[in-house]
């Protein structure tokens, strides 16, 4: 009976992991696929393409506000109910996005979609963490981190193809059948488990984290936008940072905090969040910078640009076949240090690409970069939950998802800021970007990856070995 029960539990865990990965892929894809459709959408709405940035920004700001509350709702209502409801909201909002005829309607639909996405990400991860034994954690985390790596790469070519050969509306309609299937499977296989002793709602914590996330995200996005006043952007940044500090002190002292910060006392989680956030910022800038460089700097069309970025996807895919073996052979600390340095070098190497560079060399550079970033991304995400006990999974998942989504979004802003700095360095206003501007931008965002490595040195050599199965020479 025990063998049968273990097999059944393992099968259920694998199915839930696959379901959550598919849902997160849909959510991540939606954030990147829209970029190549902006000109056609602007034409439909009779506005300039730049005005549609509010549709992207509103989605990211909604995530920043509502992700922190997701853990509390999941504890009170149950993971299955929240995840299925989040899928329903996201699917319905996708349908509305495709049906909109003006910018106001589209922005409203994107905000609604952001609410669904905010609940889907951390609660989906929590559903996986609760059913996955520690010995299978590396494989599960590897699967659910795929969407964050693959979707931004597949988004541009897929969006370019749909926009070129059909209508931008189908970008959103494609979510509907996938979402409906996900709802049915979630209701069938995810547990109804909820916390027996649910904490009260932390209204002040919700307001402070919401203000902090919104202001910081908006300020960074505004700083990277050409023509935006530095004064207003810095004011929002100051308000956001002040709210961050206030939220930190409140969450530390509150008996029932909106976000449980106790996981920060766990060294592996702390390193995953701090160093990992810097790495995510550099990684988040790539899907923004690459298509722009290929289209604006090299003169390619959207579809050609998107096809080239598929080399990054190929690198991601090939690494997944050996990630477990690499971590088992060398351990977290060694992999994160050496591969982190390699990932930074591959990112900086993008600065050497020119319009005259042979396609073969471009594909090779992108493939190698995909290999390095996939291994680093999986390792740092798995490390974060290696030592987190079951009773802290909800708070740790919410905290990780909140900062993970924000830093990936900040990556886009960091890429835009890097381009603005490059334009200033070359003495122009950034309205007409050159290949040299992108060279400087890639070097600047690579610096984040280099700084991220410093945090890894504080790990013990055997950190997370019970998850990877790595045994040091001379040990036991």
User: Can you give the residue range of the structural domain that contains 156?
Assistant: 1-197
**What's the confidence (pLDDT) of residue 50?**
56
Same-domain status, 190 and 104:
yes
**What's the confidence (pLDDT) of residue 195?**
60
- Among 76, 67, 83, 68, which Cα is nearest to 16's? 83
Same-domain status, 207 and 188:
no
Where residue 51 falls among pLDDT bands split at 50, 70, 90? low
| Of the listed ranges 1-5, 207-211, 395-399, 417-421, the one predicted with least confidence | 1-5
Distances (CA, A) of 276 to 271, 469, 473: 7, 22, 27
In 10 A of CB 115, how many CB atoms?
20
What CATH number is attached to the domain comprising 142? 1.20.1250.20
Distances (CA, A) of 434 to 295, 298, 351: 11, 9, 12
Specify the higher pLDDT residue, 153 or 241.
241
pLDDT tens for residues 169-196?
Answer: 998 998 899 899 989 988 888 876 666 5
Same-domain status, 189 and 42:
yes
User: Rounded distance, CA 70 to CA 122, Å?
Assistant: 7
The enclosing H or E element of 454 equals: helix 435-456
Distances (CA, A) of 223 to 42, 208, 398, 417: 23, 22, 28, 6
In angstroms, how far is CA 394 from the centroid of its own chain? 18
Same-domain status, 104 and 168:
yes
Return mean pLDDT, the chain: 83
- Per 3-state DSSP, what percentage of the chain is helix, strand, and coil (rounded to 5)? 80, 0, 20
Same-domain status, 220 and 271:
no
| Of the listed ranges 276-280, 289-293, 338-342, the one predicted with least confidence | 289-293
Counting residues of the chain whose pLDDT is more than 90, the rounded percentage is 20
Q: Are 410 and 282 in contact (CB under 8 A)?
A: no
The enclosing H or E element of 120 equals: helix 103-131
Return the SS3 of 414.
helix
Same-domain status, 246 and 274:
no
Q: Which of these three, 156, 182, 197, is where a domain ends?
A: 197
| Of the listed ranges 273-277, 382-386, 450-454, the one predicted with least confidence | 382-386
Q: Which of these three, 242, 257, 272, is where a domain ends?
A: 257
Same-domain status, 349 and 310:
yes
Q: Which of these three, 215, 240, 257, is where a domain ends?
A: 257
Please return the burial class of 327, using the count of CB atoms within 10 Å of its CB with bins 0-12, 13-18 and 19+.
buried
Query: Averaged over 343-371, what is the pLDDT?
Result: 92
| Of the listed ranges 66-75, 130-139, 257-266, 339-348, the one predicted with least confidence | 130-139
Considering its fold, how many domains does the chain have in total? 3
Same-domain status, 121 and 268:
no
**What's the confidence (pLDDT) of residue 115?**
92
Same-domain status, 388 and 429:
yes
Q: Are 181 and 189 in contact (CB under 8 A)?
A: no
Distances (CA, A) of 163 to 101, 125, 433: 16, 32, 24
Same-domain status, 174 and 222:
no
Q: Are 79 and 125 in contact (CB under 8 A)?
A: no
Same-domain status, 175 and 275:
no
Specify the higher pLDDT residue, 41 or 138.
41
Query: Averaged over 283-311, what is the pLDDT?
Result: 81
**What's the confidence (pLDDT) of residue 476?**
47
Query: Averaged over 51-65, what is the pLDDT?
Result: 76
User: Rounded distance, CA 23 to CA 111, Å?
Assistant: 18
pLDDT tens for residues 76-102?
Answer: 888 889 999 999 999 999 999 999 999
Same-domain status, 213 and 305:
no
The verdict on pTM exceeding 0.75 is yes
């Amino acid at each position: 009976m025990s063998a049968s029960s273990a097999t059944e539990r393992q099968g259920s865990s694998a199915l839930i992991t696959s379901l959550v990965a598919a849902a997160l892929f849909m959510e991540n894809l939606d954030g990147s696929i829209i970029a190549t459709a902006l000109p056609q959408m602007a034409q439909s709405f009779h506005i300039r393409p730049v005005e549609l940035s509010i549709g992207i920004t509103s989605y990211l700001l909604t995530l920043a506000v509502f992700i922190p509350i997701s853990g509390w709702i999941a504890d009170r209502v149950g993971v299955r109910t929240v995840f299925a409801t989040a899928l329903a909201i996201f699917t319905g909002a996708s349908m509305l996005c495709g049906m909109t005829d003006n910018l106001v309607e589209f922005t409203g639909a994107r905000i609604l979609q952001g609410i669904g996405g905010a609940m889907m990400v951390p609660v989906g991860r929590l559903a996986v963490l609760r059913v996955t034994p520690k010995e299978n954690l590396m494989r599960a985390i590897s699967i659910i981190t795929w969407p964050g790596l693959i979707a931004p790469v597949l988004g541009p070519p897929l969006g370019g193809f749909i926009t070129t050969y059909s209508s931008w509306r189908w970008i959103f309609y494609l979510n509907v059948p996938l979402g409906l299937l996900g709802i049915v499977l979630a209701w069938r296989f995810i547990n109804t488990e909820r916390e027996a002793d649910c904490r009260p709602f932390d209204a002040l914590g919700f307001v402070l984290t919401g203000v902090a996330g919104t202001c910081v995200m908006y300020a960074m996005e505004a700083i990277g936008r050409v023509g935006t006043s530095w004064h207003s952007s810095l004011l929002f940044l100051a308000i956001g940072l002040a709210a961050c500090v206030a939220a930190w002190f409140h969450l530390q002292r509150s008996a029932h905090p909106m976000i449980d910060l106790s996981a920060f006392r766990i060294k592996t989680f702390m390193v995953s969040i701090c160093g990992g956030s810097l790495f995510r910022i550099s990684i988040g800038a790539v899907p923004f910078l690459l298509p722009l460089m290929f289209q604006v700097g090299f003169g390619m069309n959207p579809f050609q640009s998107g096809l080239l970025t598929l080399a990054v996807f190929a690198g991601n895919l090939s690494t997944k076949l050996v990630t477990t073996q690499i971590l088992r052979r060398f351990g977290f600390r060694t992999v994160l240090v050496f591969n982190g340095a390699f990932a930074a070098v591959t990112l900086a190497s993008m600065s050497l690409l020119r319009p005259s560079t042979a396609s073969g060399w471009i594909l090779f550079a992108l493939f190698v970069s995909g290999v390095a970033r996939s291994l680093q991304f999986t390792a740092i995400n798995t490390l974060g939950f290696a030592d987190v006990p079951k009773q802290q999974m909800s708070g740790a998942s919410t905290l990780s998802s909140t900062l993970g989504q924000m830093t990936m979004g900040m990556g886009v802003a960091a890429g835009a800021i890097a381009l603005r700095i490059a334009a200033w360095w070359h003495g122009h206003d950034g309205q007409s970007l050159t290949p040299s501007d992108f060279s400087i931008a890639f070097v600047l965002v690579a610096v984040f990856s280099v700084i991220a490595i410093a945090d890894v040195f504080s790990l013990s050599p055997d950190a997370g070995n019970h998850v990877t199965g790595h045994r040091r020479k001379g040990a036991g």
